[in-house]
């Protein structure tokens, strides 16, 4: 189990995290969300032991994770970290990058493991391609495969699918997270994409102003986001009488006590997102038809 106890951290005088505590069980995934600059990457680097902690402790099972003051080489075999920079060898092939840390004394094992991982990240056709000739998204997939190569017990992912296009994203996500589940690997993933969380993470944590402001299951946070900041992670929403409503929770009806006027319709694939004005404030309503600008409509709440 990963155990983070009362950690605080500052870059010189800039305090980034203050008194954070949480746990992640074996085989479970915790998603960390928060605005840019809220400290997600810093938190992952602290868990990895990249910096010395001023206060608090990080443990994986019976091992205390210690910073550079105590370790000549940063990192532990049981923990792998895929950063936003990837850190690959550009002039060698995809398969060599993936197999880099596997023992060359067991060539058959190494070959088999490399094949398996190429499949997980869907890069089989690129096995012999030099990394420098890959796209950003493909490089990100090589980095993921390489992190999994030596069977870590815990994986830290910093916005792991950010460079990967939508054609591949969904299937890759399913593939990676099923691999983690099958192999009982714990995961802490920093993300700004709700699709990385919903359906994959058992727990979700919101960082804001140096603190964990919410930690719960994604389902419960989605249903009761409490703050506009949290709701905005999941999609468009309106605040009406201090209540938060997602766009699909406001429905256009024949008649009601709530009349609004269309500002701008936006096509979103399945539906139209209607930006409207209600009591001089902006609201967002989802509707199956396009409504013209300045059209008036009635809506009601369906929560
Ligand atoms: P996030 O990943 O949520 O965007 P970061 O952890 O990267 O947030 O950054 C948190 C805060 O720490 C920001 O204010 C950022 O400017 C600062 N910061 C990040 N890395 C460094 C660094 N190496 N040195 C000094 N300040 C940093
Ligand atoms: Mg970051």
Of the residues 11, 67, 233, which should be mutated to test ligand 1's pocket, given the most ligand atoms within 8 Å of the CB?
11
Say whether pLDDT at 252 is over 90: yes
The ligand 1 atom at the shortest distance from the C-alpha of residue 38 is 3
Return the pLDDT at 103. 85
Between the CA of 157 and the centroid of ligand 1 the distance, in Å, is 16
Question: What is the number of the ligand closest to the CA of 36?
Answer: 1
Say whether pLDDT at 303 is over 90: no
Between the CA of 36 and the centroid of ligand 2 the distance, in Å, is 7
Q: 236-301: which CATH architecture?
A: Beta Barrel (2.40)
Q: Is 299 exposed, middle or buried (0-12, 13-18, 19+ CB in 10 A)?
A: buried
Residue nearest to atom 22 of ligand 1 (CA): 11
CATH number of 2-223: 3.40.50.300
Lowest-confidence segment of 64-73, 119-128, 256-265 by average pLDDT: 64-73
User: What string of H, E and C letters represents the secondary structure of the chain?
Assistant: CEEEEEEEEEECCEEEEEEEEEEECCCCEEEEECCCCCCHHHHHHHHHCCCCCCEEEEEECCEECCCCCCCCCCCCCCEEEECCCCCCCCCCEHHHHHHCCCCCCCHHHHHHHHHHHHHHCCCHHHCCCEHHHCCHHHHHHHHHHHHHHCCCCEEEEECCCCCCCHHHHHHHHHHHHHHHHHCCCEEEEECCCHHHCCCCCCEEEEEECCEEEEEECHHHHHHCCCCHHHHHHHCCEEEECCEEEEHHHEEEECCCCCEEEEEEEEECCCCEEEEEEECCEEEEEEECCCCCCCCEEEEEECC
What are 98-128's pLDDT values in tens digits? 999 888 888 999 999 999 999 999 999 999 9
The ligand 1 atom at the shortest distance from the C-alpha of residue 42 is 6
Say whether pLDDT at 7 is over 90: yes
144 φ/ψ angles, rounded to the nearest 5 degrees: -65, -45
Listed residue (250, 242, 246) closest to 299, CA to CA: 250
Domain positions in the chain: 2-223, 236-301
Listed residue (184, 191, 186) closest to 207, CA to CA: 191
The ligand 1 atom at the shortest distance from the C-alpha of residue 36 is 4
Pairing of strands 296-301, 2-11: unpaired
What are 174-225's pLDDT values in tens digits? 999 999 999 999 999 999 899 889 889 999 999 999 999 999 999 999 999 9
Residues having CB closer than 6 A to ligand 1 are: 11, 14, 16, 34, 36-42
Do 2-223 and 236-301 show the same overall fold? no
Residue nearest to atom 23 of ligand 1 (CA): 11
């Amino acid at each position: 189990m990963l155990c983070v106890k009362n950690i605080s951290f500052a870059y010189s005088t800039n305090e980034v995290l203050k008194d954070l505590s949480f746990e992640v069980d074996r085989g479970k995934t915790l998603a960390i969300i928060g605005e840019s600059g809220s400290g997600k990457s810093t938190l992952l680097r602290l868990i990895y032991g990249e910096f010395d902690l001023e206060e608090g402790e990080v443990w994986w099972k019976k091992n205390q994770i210690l910073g550079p003051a105590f370790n000549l080489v940063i990192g532990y075999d049981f923990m792998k970290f895929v950063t936003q920079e990837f850190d690959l060898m550009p002039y060698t092939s995809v398969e060599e990058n993936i197999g880099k840390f596997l023992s060359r004394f067991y060539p058959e094992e190494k070959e088999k493991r490399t094949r398996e991982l190429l499949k997980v990240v869907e890069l089989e056709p690129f096995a012999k391609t030099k990394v420098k000739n890959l796209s950003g998204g493909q490089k990100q997939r090589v980095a993921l495969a390489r992190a999994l190569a030596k069977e870590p017990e815990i994986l830290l992912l910093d916005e792991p699918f950010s460079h990967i296009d939508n054609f591949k994203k969904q299937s890759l996500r399913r593939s990676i997270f099923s691999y983690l589940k099958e192999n009982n690997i714990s995961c802490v993933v920093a993300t700004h994409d709700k699709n990385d969380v919903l359906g994959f993470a058992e727990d979700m944590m919101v960082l804001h102003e140096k603190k964990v402001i919410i930690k719960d299951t994604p389902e419960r946070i989605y249903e009761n986001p409490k703050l506009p900041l949290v709701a905005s992670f999941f999609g468009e929403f309106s605040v009406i009488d201090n209540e938060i409503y997602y766009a699909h929770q406001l429905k256009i009806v024949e008649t009601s006590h709530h009349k609004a006027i269309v500002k701008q319709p936006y096509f979103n694939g399945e539906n139209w997102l209607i930006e409207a004005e209600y009591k001089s404030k902006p609201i967002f309503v989802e509707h199956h038809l396009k409504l013209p600008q300045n059209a008036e409509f009635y809506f009601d709440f369906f929560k």
